[in-house]
Chain A
Amino acid sequence: MRIVLRSATVAAITLGLVACNGSDSPGNASNDETATSETGDTAKPFDKDPYPSTYTPYPSQPVLLRNATVYDGIGGVFEEHDVLIRDGSIAELGESLEVDDDVEVINAAGKFVTPGIIDNHSHLGVYPSPGVSAHQDGNEVSAPVTAEVWAEHGLWPQDPGFTRALAGGVTSMQILPGSANLFGGRGVTIKNVLSRTVQGMKFPEAPYTLKMACGENPKRVYGYGGGGFPGGAPYSRMGNVAGYRSSWIEAQEYKRKWDAWEEDGEGDMPGRDLELDTLKGVLEGDILVHMHCYRADEMAQVIDMSKEFGYKVTSFHHAVESYKIADRLAEEKICSSMWADWWGFKMEAYDGIRENIPLVHEAGACAIVHSDSDIGIQRLNQEAAKALADGRRAGLDISKADAWTWLSANPAKSLGIFDKTGSLEAGKDGDIVVWSADPFSVYAQAEKVFIDGALMFDRTDSSLMPVTDFELGQPGEGDMK
């Protein structure tokens, strides 16, 4: 599902960048491989990754976390286990591992170790703190279809919210455009490692995503003209769906034109359209659809629409009524990115219940705990715990170990990065959290957060608590937050 660079020209450019960075990171190295191996493929005349990740893992020493309780993120729980992190990756999980002298051994007895939390719905950086007017970069409200905009182009890497999310054990996240538009634009997946640039945070080789939105928001923003009447389309849910379908029809025509040109190799290159580039990427399976959709009946409409045009919805977001069609979502293999208990702030959130997440899980569908909040992102483990407890009270027998799939593995799958992170399996990125206690307790805190094996946060060491530029010289600089 990743974005594949196909042309020799692009390969050369990419190689050039790698050389400039002097990097040998796994991410860039595999870009290199991709480019080389794909050199013979059909030539593509433009770069599909023009703002490439420059993230490289920070230096790390081998670390052994000794005698912890480990949730491996894929349903396993292991008492008194060790986790070995080496070369930035998870090397081994086992009992009483023997290690060489070069390995730093951290006594984790009484602690809990989990994969880093992955939030697949954040607006950090695009709606940063402080939330002043100049910082409202998350919704390109100028039109109902803005598939041409990319969240990464509005993302401010100095958002103090990243540091708070880190203290909550979040190691990766998806930054999405807002839900004003039918097509809000592309999302971007990042490692939660502060950088001077957005490119420096981008998760290497993560596929692009497309944000879409159902329901009340698009029709309120456009149809009601921000309170004035009449506004433009869409004014109703009918208009929403007509809007999506019209765009998909355009995208199909655009794709046909490009496919024909690439097939024949004759004539002028078709004119490029940024909006349709993105939609075409969805139709080709390269770009994953994340769609804000609360109501069950609307999700069912969207599922039919995705079949009408031949694409797949990866995850419905907020999905407050997923519990009403959990069977269908399981059948279609569509994830639901959910809050534990938000409800009632608008009509389409009125039927929110506390058992939504566990009911979706129980139906065999992919359940994800998401935040959509700079506050919520700091305690997603607690949101999972609430949902789990409410599910159990309703008679659903779900283990804590299984519930952790809501926080790491399932969001990683929804972002196309599960081959790299989201579980404690050997060879995966060393994205790991050491918790002071069972993270299903309100009292547990992330003590240490490793990202690609590097210790990026330590609650006991103020030198490992990053402070963004914005907070320098301000009240509370460097305070425990």
Chain B
Amino acid sequence: MIRSTLAALMATVSLGYMAQAQSVTVTNAKLWTGNEVVEDATVVITDGTVVSAGADITLPEDAQPLDAEGAWVTPGIFSAFSRTGIVEVGAETTTNDTLAPQSTFGAALDMADAFNPNATTVPVTRIEGVTRIAVAPGFGSGMFGGRGLIADTSGDANSVTASQAFSFINIGEGGAALTGGSRPATWATLRGALEDARTYPARYNALEDGDVLNRLDAAALAPASRGQQLLLIAASRASDLRNVIALKEENPQLNIALVGAHEGWMVAEELAAADIPVIIDPYANLPGRFESLGATQHNAERLIDAGVTTALAYLDDDSHQARLVLQSAGNAVANGVSHDNALRAITSAPADIFGMDGLGTVEPGSRGDLVIWDGDPLDVMSAPVSVFIDGVEQSLESRQTELRDRYLTLDESERPLAYRR
């Protein structure tokens, strides 16, 4: 049994889960490489990096191969959108760093200042096979949420993979509410802000002020305004998406990706032609707002068929339930997406969108994020049996598993349950 083999392995390597890269060799895997499925595959990770992966791999001489016995092996899952690690308890504002309604700043807010590798959400997410997360700001005082990051879920002190990986802005109904009350106000604000940022710092030296952004916000938005940083835009309605496409036509230097895109399927060909990728929630199929009247679970299928780079995310509870992206991807398959494309949408596609070379794939040169599964990774009764990040095997425990183990039996005849751990 794979479980016992792995358990034995874990027993040998798990002491303290020392953050040291190890040599890992997995054989007989049904491997999703990020691009294709390879049967009877072998993966060799050395010093945290994949050195070989695929069929017909020669094992290193000192290898202690772990026989996956045909089980699914994938890159670490990449959640393309989360607030994991920046909020502990959603309703408790002291623990919630996603947004700052009273802040003077918007674009300058940097989620790397908030990210807490010790947040309980991090292991909860990791033990479901999600090893990398895009962590986005919320929106408090305006349409500019701030800058997001890419992190791993190891819980290690140095788990931020890339800070200031993208800037996040909000248009449509949400953006309107944040910019005075209408879409035209949003677009006037956005155009002015991009001009402020693009001309930073010259404009601020000459005029001492921008039209929209204060000095720090302009500095923060400058890379995105020049296409040096991803500009992530939340938008849903087809007409809003067309406005984003027009924005990119007017400003071809911009590197734009969309979040939400409920009516993306209605403009799928145009998005593909404009090379604008999307991060969508495949569950979204309700006209929850007037900007999402066309929402359907077939959005993913239609966008992918049109050639739009599509990543999937679970957007309903992005701080605590980013782990549900696997179930989301399974549902996308039930609604027309191929299994390969659904896997791609939670591994290599998000890595592409965020420009994270070496993540979301298991190929020579990839980072050693690997998950071995006890079944089809996308099916709801499956779970990881082993998770590696940068070649280091990870604990599969969380605060939740500790609570579970405490309460497996309710026998208090000797001592209160508080003594059991």
Contact = CB atoms under 8 A, between A and B. Distances in A.
A99 to B, nearest CB: 32
Contact of B288 (A131, A326, A353, A444): A131
Contacts of A347: 89, 91-92
A203 interface: no
Interface stretch (B188-196, B289-297, B362-370): B289-297
Interface stretch (B163-171, B245-253, B353-361, B399-407): B399-407
Contacts of A373: 316
Interface in A430-481: 440-445, 470-471, 474-476, 479-481
B154 to A, nearest CB: 20
Contacts of B157: none
Contact of B294 (A359, A379, A475): A475
B286 interface: yes
A211 to B, nearest CB: 20
A382 B324 CA distance: 12
A385 B334 contact: no
Contact of B287 (A375, A388, A471, A480): A471
A130 B90 contact: no
A129 interface: yes
Contacts of B124: 343
B298 interface: yes
A363 B91 CA distance: 31
A168 to B, nearest CB: 10
Interface stretch (B19-27, B212-220, B325-333, B387-395): B325-333
A476 B298 CA distance: 11
Contacts of A131: 288-289
Interface stretch (A38-46, A84-92, A389-397): A389-397
A359 B381 contact: no
Interface in B292-310: 293-298
Contact of B381 (A130, A354, A386, A481): A386
Contacts of A390: 383
A443 B334 contact: yes
Given A323-B407, A393-B383, A440-B380, A474 B320 contact: no
A351 interface: yes
B410 A344 contact: no
B298 A346 contact: no
A261 interface: no
A130 B290 contact: yes
Contacts of A374: 286, 288
B144 interface: no
A395 B124 CA distance: 20
A148 to B, nearest CB: 28
Contacts, number: 142
A344 B120 contact: yes
Contacts of B381: 385-386, 388-389, 440-441
Contact of A476 (B92, B295, B380): B295
A132 B290 contact: yes
Nearest to B292: A130
Interface string B377-421: 011111100000000000000001101100110100000000000
A475 B240 CA distance: 14
A479 B90 contact: no
Given A347-B92, A353-B403, A354-B404, A382 B410 contact: no
A441 B296 contact: no
A262 interface: no
Contacts of A395: 408
B285 A389 contact: no
A399 to B, nearest CB: 13
B238 interface: yes
A393 B407 CA distance: 15
Contacts of A346: 89-92
A354 B400 contact: yes
Contact of B89 (A345, A379, A388): A345
Interface string B221-238: 000000000000000001
A389 B321 contact: no
Interface string B88-123: 111110000000000000000000000000001100
B335 to A, nearest CB: 8
B211 interface: no
Which has the most chain A C-beta neighbours within 10 Å: B88, B92, B334? B334
Interface in A374-425: 374-375, 378-379, 382, 385-386, 388-390, 393-395
A355 interface: yes
A327 B285 CA distance: 39
A442 B407 contact: no
A386 B327 contact: yes
A80 B391 CA distance: 47
B3 to A, nearest CB: 10
Contacts of B378: 442
Which has the most chain B C-beta neighbours within 10 Å: A385, A386, A445, A476? A476
Given A382-B380, A393-B383, A351 B263 contact: no
Which has the most chain A C-beta neighbours within 10 Å: B285, B334, B410? B285
A374 B81 CA distance: 21
A350 B89 contact: yes
B289 A343 contact: no
Interface in B38-92: 88-92
Contact of B298 (A327, A359, A480): A480
B317 interface: yes
A281 interface: no
A344 B89 CA distance: 5
A343 B320 contact: yes
Interface in A110-132: 129-132
A361 B335 CA distance: 32
Contact of B90 (A345, A353, A354, A481): A345
A442 B379 contact: yes
Contact of A130 (B89, B289, B400): B289
B178 interface: no
Given A353-B404, A474-B287, A379 B297 contact: no
Nearest to A437: B334
B266 interface: yes
A323 B402 CA distance: 13
B331 A379 contact: yes
Given A442-B333, A470-B287, A375 B316 contact: yes
Given A131-B289, A353-B403, A445-B334, A326 B410 contact: yes
Contacts of A388: 381
Which has the most chain A C-beta neighbours within 10 Å: B263, B294, B379, B404? B404
Nearest to A442: B330
Given A323-B407, A480-B297, 18 more contacts: A130-B288, A131-B288, A324-B410, A325-B410, A341-B321, A341-B324, A345-B91, A345-B319, A346-B92, A354-B400, A359-B404, A373-B316, A385-B381, A389-B382, A389-B383, A442-B333, A442-B379, A445-B334
Interface of A: 129-132, 160-161, 164, 216, 323-327, 341-347, 350-355, 359, 363, 373-375, 378-379, 382, 385-386, 388-390, 393-395, 440-445, 470-471, 474-476, 479-481
Which 8 A-B pairs have CB atoms at the shortest separation, nearest pair first? Answer: A442-B330, A475-B294, A389-B381, A476-B294, A346-B91, A345-B90, A344-B320, A385-B380
28 contacts: A131-B289, A132-B290, A164-B285, A343-B400, A344-B90, A344-B120, A344-B121, A345-B91, A346-B89, A347-B92, A351-B403, A374-B288, A382-B331, A385-B381, A386-B327, A386-B381, A388-B381, A393-B383, A440-B380, A442-B333, A442-B334, A443-B330, A470-B287, A474-B287, A475-B263, A475-B294, A476-B293, A476-B294
